[in-house]
Amino acid sequence: MSVTNLIKPQKLVAGDKVAIVSPSWAGASVFPQRYKAGIKQLEEEFGLVAVEAPNSMIDAEENADNPQKRAQDINWAVKNKEIKAIIPVIGGDDAVRILPYLDYTAIRENPKILLGYSDITVLHLAFLHAGVSSIYGPAIMAGGFAENGGMFDYFKNSVRKTLFSNDIIGKIEPNLSGWTDEELSWREPKNQLLKRKLKKSTGNRVLQGKGKVCGHLFGGCVEVLEMLKGTPVWPDKEFFEGAILFLETSEEAPSADYVVRVLRNYAASGVLERVNGIIVGRGANLPENEQDRYDKAFMQVVQKECHLDIPLISQMDFGHTDPMFLLPYGAKAEIDAEKGSFAILENAVI
């Protein structure tokens, strides 16, 4: 795995067909109205045509029992010449089970846009292992497309800039219009029409660092990355040399103590000493003051225990927070610790 040889997929244009897959939890069979809302908003806003993969709509129990079928859908989407992007229905907790059944040669020979976050971190590392850059971002039911009452402008702008243009993405402005992790029950169809309550956005929080650093992007959901360590798709230590690590936690809101233990693993395995900087996504469903404890957890390991002075910025708008911006794996990015800014210095697509 070499970041210099990563293949970028082609950009999207209106009218393109995108495959809808369920590589983890089959959420569409449980909350069909939420799924339909996401498909409708995706197609109407971006002019794309959603194509359901052969097994994407099976019930949750059958989906859970058949990781082979889930992987078959990924392989089908990759090989289908009409498909230009692959979008998961939602995340889950066991996408790792599909790894043995993926066709890595086909992924490399047919580079396609892959979106998703949370448990879809598994697929991102699979694509990376195959030599293809993918994009940490939304799913159909969660993460943007099915947003209650319509998609956020901040999110729509990031999608267009990242997926529909081959220009350099550039500076990622923090979302200052308000963010949300409010949970409105998907069991109540009327909730789909309600706007979620927004919390005040304070912008990026610089925890430490001086000047500017650059590096290639790698990361994902903290808990899912833990499941991937030691698997064939986990990068070797050399891959992390000069990287910018992006990390975020799931809606299960693991404790700050858990985050410390995870970071100690990155330190002991020689990862932290190799990276040029770290950006951290805003936590979701956190108890009062837990975000501050998350920040202290990073400082505990990075600064106090490892004595590293690399730039470290937290509470950024990616991962389990809405609206989110998109992050392309392997793309060169820049952290300016003095200004508290972040920029992606490449295009994500060609």
* 195 and 157, same domain (yes or no): no
* 200 and 260, same domain (yes or no): yes
What confidence score (pLDDT) does residue 216 get?
98
Cis geometry, peptide bond prior to residue 254 (ω within 30 degrees of 0) = no
Look at residue 95 and tell me if it is in a domain: yes
Helix residue spans in 110-239 (DSSP H)? 121-130, 153-163, 222-228
Q: Give the separation between CA 70 and CA 65, rounded to whole angstroms.
A: 10
* 219 and 98, same domain (yes or no): no
Burial environment of residue 306 by CB neighbours within 10 A (0 to 12, 13 to 18, 19 or more): middle
Full residue range of the structural domain in which residue 112 is found: 3-168
Look at residue 239 and tell me if it is in a domain: yes
CATH number at residue 308: 3.50.30.60
In sequence order, which residues have a C-beta less than 8 Å from that of residue 292 and are 6 or more positions away? none
Look at residue 349 and tell me if it is in a domain: no
Q: Give the confidence band of 1 by pLDDT, cuts at 50, 70, 90.
A: low
Look at residue 173 and tell me if it is in a domain: no
Look at residue 182 and tell me if it is in a domain: no
Q: Give the separation between CA 11 and CA 84, rounded to whole angstroms.
A: 8
* 106 and 137, same domain (yes or no): yes
Q: Which of 2, 266, 242, 222 is nearest to 129 (CA)?
A: 2
Look at residue 177 and tell me if it is in a domain: no
* 36 and 76, same domain (yes or no): yes
User: What total of structural domains would you count in the chain?
Assistant: 2
Helix residue spans in the chain (DSSP H)? 27-30, 32-46, 60-65, 67-79, 104-109, 121-130, 153-163, 222-228, 256-268, 290-299
Token pair listed for 41:
């908003």
Look at residue 207 and tell me if it is in a domain: yes
Q: Residues 185-196: what's their mean pLDDT?
A: 96
Mean pLDDT of the chain: 96
Under a CB-based contact definition with an 8 Å cutoff, are residues 74 and 130 in contact? no
Residue 287 has pLDDT above 90, yes or no: no
Give the pTM. 0.97
Look at residue 164 and tell me if it is in a domain: yes
Residue 19 has pLDDT above 70, yes or no: yes
* 75 and 198, same domain (yes or no): no
What confidence score (pLDDT) does residue 63 get?
94
Q: Give the separation between CA 318 and CA 15, rounded to whole angstroms.
A: 27
